């Protein structure tokens, strides 16, 4: 079965867990490591003959347009991660519209191809920010992949939402991040920090069970998760743990995942484009 693989293309200093130490105004002064780390991902995918969707932050695309062209030239899908990596439920509707429009314009200007998909920073489309779905539709997006219906997280989650692809009332397609339901619990299976924290055997076991049920899964990682040598900053212990845990194992685990499962771009795996 073909599953969906994705990467949220942001640099190490742009993540939510480090915002208490690095503000948006400081981004221009930070060391850029996203190009090298993304190129590492491209090599891994090339070795496994796999394709993926890259949700590129507009800020990164503006700074590194050649990286976007390289991803596109390798046959991967370019999608939007917004421009400024702000949590959607902390934004006004006007600010959100400007953010996703700016990112889409930048990406389409670089690739000359239409951008179909969007993923919110930190999966921040929740019940408190459902208003964002109509704006995404109005701004020309075809699908969203921001819903992570996991049972427990302090920043995101969507209890009661379907964990399978569906259409919102406005026609926008939703591609949720993957979970495995055990009674009332929705166990995280989509990747990210969970992929570094939990043993690989956990993912292999439950992901194979999903495929045996004829369910595709949607997986994600970030470039900075392949970079154990990235700068360390002083943030609260829980955030430090989430961000830096087991970075040295990410490449090894991804290579195992690509050997055990088949992957494609989100738009292809879920039949959103020919």
E strands, the chain, where?
2-9, 53-56, 77-80, 117-118, 143-144, 166-167, 173-174, 179-182, 185-188, 218-221, 262-264
pLDDT number for residue 274: 45
Which among 56, 270, 91, 273 has a CA at the least distance from the CA of 176?
Answer: 270
| pLDDT tens column, 199-250 | 999 999 999 999 999 999 999 999 999 999 999 999 999 999 999 999 999 9
pLDDT number for residue 137: 98
pLDDT number for residue 161: 79
Tokens of 257: 């995942």
| pLDDT tens column, 170-190 | 999 999 999 998 877 888 899
pLDDT score of 55 more than 60: yes
Please report where in the chains the tokens 């002064």 appear, as a residue.
Answer: 29
CB atoms within 10 A of CB 198: 15
Segment 69-83 mean pLDDT = 98
pTM: 0.96
pLDDT number for residue 26: 98
| pLDDT tens column, 102-153 | 999 999 999 999 999 999 999 999 988 999 999 999 999 999 999 998 765 5
- Decide which of 3.90.1420.10, 3.30.365.10, 3.20.20.370, 3.40.50.720 is the CATH code for 2-20+50-269: 3.20.20.370
Which among 217, 230, 128 has a CA at the least distance from the CA of 175?
Answer: 217
pLDDT number for residue 217: 97
Domain ranges of the chain: 2-20+50-269
* Phi and psi based region of residue 59 (left: phi greater than 0; alpha: psi -120 to 50; beta: remaining): alpha
How many CA atoms lie within 13 Å of 131's alpha carbon, on the beta-carbon side? 12
- Residue 203: C-alpha distances to residues 48, 130, 196, 197, 256 (Å): 19, 30, 11, 11, 11
Which among 270, 251, 268 has a CA at the least distance from the CA of 259?
Answer: 251
CB atoms within 10 A of CB 68: 22
Helix then strand then coil, % of the chain, to nearest 5:
45, 15, 40
CB atoms within 10 A of CB 183: 5
pLDDT score of 154 more than 90: no
Tokens of 8: 């949220």
Q: What is the mean pLDDT of the chain?
A: 95
């Amino acid at each position: 079965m073909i599953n969906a693989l994705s990467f949220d293309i942001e640099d190490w200093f742009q993540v939510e867990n480090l915002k208490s130490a690095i503000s948006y105004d400081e981004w221009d002064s930070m060391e850029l490591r996203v190009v090298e780390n993304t190129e590492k991902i491209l090599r891994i995918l090339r070795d496994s003959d796999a394709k993926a969707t890259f949700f590129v932050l507009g800020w990164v695309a503006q700074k590194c347009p050649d990286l976007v062209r390289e991803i596109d030239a390798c046959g991967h899908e370019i999608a939007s991660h917004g421009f400024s990596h702000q949590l959607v439920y902390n934004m006004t509707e006007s600010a959100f519209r400007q953010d996703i429009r700016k990112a889409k314009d930048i990406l389409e200007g670089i690739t000359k191809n239409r951008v179909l998909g969007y993923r919110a920073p930190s999966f921040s489309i929740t019940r408190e920010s459902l208003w964002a779905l109509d704006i995404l539709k109005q701004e020309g997006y075809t699908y969203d992949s921001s819903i992570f219906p996991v049972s427990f997280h302090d920043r995101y989650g969507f209890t009661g939402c379907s964990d399978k692809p569906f259409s919102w009332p406005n026609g926008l397609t939703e591609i949720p991040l993957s979970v495995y339901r055990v009674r009332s619990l929705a166990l995280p299976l989509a990747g990210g920090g969970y992929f570094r924290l939990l043993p690989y055997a956990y993912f292999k076991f439950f992901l194979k069970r999903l495929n045996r049920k004829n369910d595709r899964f949607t997986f994600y990682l970030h470039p900075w998760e392949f970079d154990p040598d990235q700068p360390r900053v002083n943030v609260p212990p829980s955030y430090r743990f989430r961000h830096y845990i087991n970075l040295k194992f990410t490449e090894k685990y991804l290579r195992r995942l690509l050997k055990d499962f088949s992957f494609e771009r989100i738009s292809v795996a879920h039949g959103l484009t020919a």
